[in-house]
């Protein structure tokens, strides 16, 4: 059976309280964000003691860590910042097993200097793709050397932002330590959202064997609001990656609040991954019970 999980950072507490609250909602797995009120897991802080504390805390609450968040801009236009981003991600990869999971996830990033979620012409250039390819190859090798796996997450405005670009990246970085984080909402923009089923089927027809972990949020047209959208999730220290809700024509909100064809998504996902963790995101803590019930009801309806 599929497992419903959630990102830990939607619970803005200390380590122990976060695990307790998540388990209280009935979840049995989490995607770990290195972000708690009472423990510093920043750059240079991941050692045997801290990783064991995190791992053991979630295990004690029957919440195995299925993946670790490493989200960063892999091709930041400032070369020093890019180097720092990649080195931090490698640090997380080296410690992934100690934290409880081999899987570390990031999107590819953008050359846009104003926002990590806005597009840039260089993103779609051969130079941009090749720069990104080299970084991903490095990350895959780093993961391989440490018993881990780097999971690429496609996002429309990044260098790897379409089904075709994802397929191309896997063809050019043919590495056993490179996998895919499956989030169908990240493939949609104004030009293809009305061909939703076609795009979902295309992803699974071409990339199903690369998938290791799945996400659950939703997608819809944004109406009159064409800005970069962020939500107040009740945490003044919240990471931008957890408040982000879309940009331009598209809004990305909690599962069950948009137009994603969840029936098709979960059916196709289950064909090769019947026991995969499906991690809820893009919500605040008050919406967790509704979102979990929505996902659980879909599992029951389709026998998943």
Segment 58-113, tens digit of pLDDT: 999 999 999 999 999 999 999 999 999 999 999 999 999 999 999 999 999 999 98
- Over residues 17-32, the pLDDT tens digits come to 999 999 999 999 999 9
Of 289, 223, 230, 228, which is closest to residue 255 (Cα–Cα)?
A: 289
Backbone angles phi and psi of 53, in degrees to 5: -60, -45
Q: Assess whether pLDDT exceeds 90 at residue 223.
A: no
d(CA 24, CA 22): 5
Domains of the chain, residue spans = 3-301
Contact 219, 261 (CB under 8 A): no
- Which helix (H) or strand (E) is 211 found in, with range? strand 211-216
Q: E strands of 50-166, at which residues?
A: 65-69, 103-107, 149-153
| Mean pLDDT value of segment 232-261 | 83
Please classify residue 296 by burial: count the beta carbons closer than 10 Å to its beta carbon, then call 0-12 exposed, 13-18 middle and 19+ buried: middle
Helix (H, G, I), strand (E, B) or coil at 75: coil
% of the chain surpassing 90 pLDDT? 88
How far is residue 247 from each of residues 10, 53, 171, 244, 250, measured CA to CA in Å?
21, 37, 29, 9, 6
pLDDT band at 265 (very low <50, low <70, confident <90, very high): very high
Q: How confident is the model at residue 242 (pLDDT cuts 50, 70, 90)?
A: confident
CATH superfamily of 3-301: Divalent-metal-dependent TIM barrel enzymes (3.20.20.150)
36 is written with which tokens? 């708690």
Q: Let me know: does 112 contact 146? Beta carbons within 8 Å.
A: no
Say how many CA atoms lie within 13 Å of 142 toward its Cβ: 21
Q: What is the mean pLDDT of residues 156-167?
A: 96
Tokens of 51: 């990783």
Cα–Cα distance for residue pair 287/261, rounded to 1 Å: 20
């Amino acid at each position: 059976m599929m497992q419903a999980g959630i990102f830990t950072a939607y619970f803005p507490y200390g380590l122990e309280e976060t695990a307790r609250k998540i388990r209280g909602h009935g979840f049995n797995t989490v995607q770990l964000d290195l972000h708690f009120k009472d423990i510093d897991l920043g750059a240079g802080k991941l050692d045997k003691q801290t990783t064991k504390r995190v791992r053991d805390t979630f295990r004690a609450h029957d919440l195995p860590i299925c993946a670790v968040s490493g989200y960063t801009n892999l091709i930041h236009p400032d070369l020093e910042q890019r180097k720092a981003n990649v080195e931090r991600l490698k640090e997380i990869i080296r410690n992934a097993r100690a934290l409880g999971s081999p899987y570390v996830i990031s999107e590819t990033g953008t050359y846009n200097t104003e926002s990590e979620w806005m597009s840039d012409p260089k993103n779609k250039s051969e130079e941009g793709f090749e720069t990104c390819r080299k970084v991903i190859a490095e990350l895959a090798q780093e993961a391989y050397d440490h018993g881990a796996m780097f999971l690429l997450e496609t996002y429309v405005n990044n260098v790897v932002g379409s089904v075709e670009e994802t397929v191309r990246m896997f063809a050019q970085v043919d590495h056993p330590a490179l996998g895919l984080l499956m989030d169908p909402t990240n493939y949609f923009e104004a030009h293809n959202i009305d061909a939703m089923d076609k795009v979902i089927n295309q992803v699974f027809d071409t990339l199903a064997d690369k998938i290791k972990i799945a996400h659950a949020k939703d997608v819809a047209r944004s109406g009159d609001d064409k800005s970069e959208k962020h939500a107040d999730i009740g945490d003044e220290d919240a990471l931008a990656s957890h408040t982000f809700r879309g940009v331009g024509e598209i809004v990305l909100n909690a599962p069950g609040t948009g137009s994603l064809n969840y029936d098709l998504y979960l059916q196709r996902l289950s064909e090769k991954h019947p026991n995969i963790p499906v991690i809820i995101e893009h919500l605040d803590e008050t919406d967790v019970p509704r979102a979990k019930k929505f996902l659980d009801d879909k599992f029951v309806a389709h026998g998943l």
